Amino acid sequence: MVVALTGCKGVHLVTSAGYAALDAAEDREVSPIEQQLRDAEAQWRGTPYRWGGLSQEGIDCSGFVMTVYQDVFDLPLPRTTLAQVETGEAVSADALQAGDLVFFRTSRRTRHVGIYLGAGEFAHASTSQGVMTSRLDNAYWQKTYWTSRRILPTALAETEAAAPRPRPSKKPPSTRRTGWR
């Protein structure tokens, strides 16, 4: 229960029975996007939580989401949870797909964000455990669930995810501040 009480300084999702069917399918097909996200989470797993951090020495929840999206999909996201929740399109909890962002209100003034992986799991930076994977059917996450957003374009999800996207050529860095980190 201690692990569940973490967040980044109630709507119910799917019942445990709903995810049990997914868990029972040991040979379920994993989408290319889910595999890329699980690989990215594995590279960051155990990285300690640090508010404002953006490195393997420490990272916060919105920084983790921003960094993974940049590294895996070459898509820039805003730096903060409150800016990220304004991005993309709203998606209902029962229609989540790998790559969707899941948001939580962990206290009156605190919000938390993670990346949905599939099979009822999401990756996030926990204040007590660092980067980890948790289940959405956990009572704490169900109680604090706020909303979900779809960031990845449908075309990317359906066609480009099977093969890694080529990186654009490196241009000299811009001196103009864009508000993105």
Catalytic residues: 61, 112, 124
168 Cβ partners below 8 Å, 6+ apart? 74
